[in-house]
Structure 1
Amino acid sequence: MEAQVFYDIHQPIIERCRLGDRKAQYEVYKLYSKAMFNVAIRITNNYAEAEDALQEAFLNAFQHITNFKGDSTFGSWLKKIVINQALAVLRKRRVQWSSIEEHDFEETNDSEDEEEMNFQIDTIRNAIQLLPEGYRVVLSLYLLEGYDHQEIAEILNISESTSKSQYSRAKQKLMQLIKK
């Protein structure tokens, strides 16, 4: 099966970046930096570390732009780099992932949880920032970035069941924090 090639409206700028054009790189940075910073801050939960991760991710992207094959949009390719860089920051902090085998947990009814989470956005955002790192990262990747548990497992190098348990516990903990 042939890989699908995506048309990206920013393709001319990307091509200039491939040629080492610094002005084009700055244009790409301006186009994507705000959205990519939001991804990094949701994962690191630290402004300075998110800024560092963002800068490293852009440097990495520009150094390896020849690896961008166009089988996804440039934005999604860049987002993966940002996520991996933000996760590297967390690894430096030596995040201890809690495995499903270590803890028992109860399944929750997603529809009830979603109805209960109909609170103000600021309250939820603040509560997410208070979550333990492992919970926050999985919750952010699943809910905010749209990854499924299999993809999260691959990104974080954990099992799919650990991703699901972290997500379940994150939702429970989030509800506790919101009710305070």
Structure 2
Amino acid sequence: MEKLGYQDVNHQVVERCKSGDHRAQYELYKLYSKAMFNVSMRITNDYAEAEDVLQEAFISAFKNLHSYKGEASFGSWLKKIVVNAAINAIRKRRAELVPMDERVVEDVPDEVSEDDSEWQVEQVRRAIQKLPDGYRVVLSLYLLEGYDHAEIGEVLGISESTSKSQYSRARKKLLEIMREPQFVA
């Protein structure tokens, strides 16, 4: 008997969901809820809101499972739903992207100095949480979720150049936050 791979098992669970098997829905939830919660949390920066987004995203996914064609992995398909739900939650909060102007943003170095190498992951995570919503969303989508600027622009309804500018400003602001006394070890 041939052993099934992870993708094959996921495909079987998705097919069972499509046929109305509620246990299969629970299996998918167990497989993906933690990772999708983390995606939601990085974007919303609010635990309760991230939980709400997660539930809304899974409900939407199960309702629209018939539209999942298997062209991408189920996790990628679900992640798009979660990202969109998280962005919509921020929009409902009436959060707006940080106002843009046409000035060129000064370049922020790609590498941190040797002094900065002591920064710990937890410090960076806390600093990201301090970013304004617009900066945090673009930074999270680009760095953590792997979206390119064209995709970010499409999702947020902004131009690709605005996404790049927001990302550059977010990096600069993040470095400023990381240099604040409470973040310096």
User: Scaled by the length of structure 1, what TM-score is found?
Assistant: 0.90
Residue 157 (structure 1) aligns with: 157
Stretch deviating more after TM superposition (116-125 or 156-165): 116-125
**In the TM superposition, what is the alpha-carbon distance from 1:98 to its structure 2 partner?**
3.3
**In the TM superposition, what is the alpha-carbon distance from 1:116 to its structure 2 partner?**
4.4
Equivalent residues of 2:98, 2:135 under 8 A apart? no
Q: Give secondary structure in 2 for the equivalent of 1:106.
A: coil
Residue 3 (structure 2) aligns with: none
Residue 96 (structure 1) aligns with: 96
Residue 50 (structure 1) aligns with: 50
Distance change >3 Å, CA 120–CA 81, structure 1 → 2: same
Unaligned runs of 5+ in 2: 1-5, 181-185
Amino acid at match of 2:7: D
Equivalent residues of 2:128, 2:136 under 8 A apart? yes
Amino acid at match of 2:109: N
Residue 8 (structure 1) aligns with: 7
What is the aligned-residue identity percentage? 58
CA offsets per residue over residues 120-172 of structure 1, 9 Å max, x none?
A: 00000000000000000000000000111111101111111111111111111
Q: Which has the larger radius of gyration?
A: 2
CA offsets per residue over residues 41-85 of structure 1, 9 Å max, x none?
A: 000000000000000000000000000001100000000000000
Unaligned runs of 5+ in 1: 1-6
The answer as to 2:130 corresponding to 1:130 is yes
Q: Give secondary structure in 1 for the equivalent of 2:7.
A: coil
Amino acid at match of 1:18: K
Q: Give secondary structure in 2 for the equivalent of 1:60.
A: helix
Residue 73 (structure 1) aligns with: 73
**How far apart, CA to CA, are the structure 2 residues paired with 1:107 and 1:172?**
8
Equivalent residues of 1:138, 1:167 under 8 A apart? yes
**How far apart, CA to CA, are the structure 2 residues paired with 1:103 and 1:129?**
26
**In the TM superposition, what is the alpha-carbon distance from 1:101 to its structure 2 partner?**
3.1
Residue 27 (structure 1) aligns with: 27
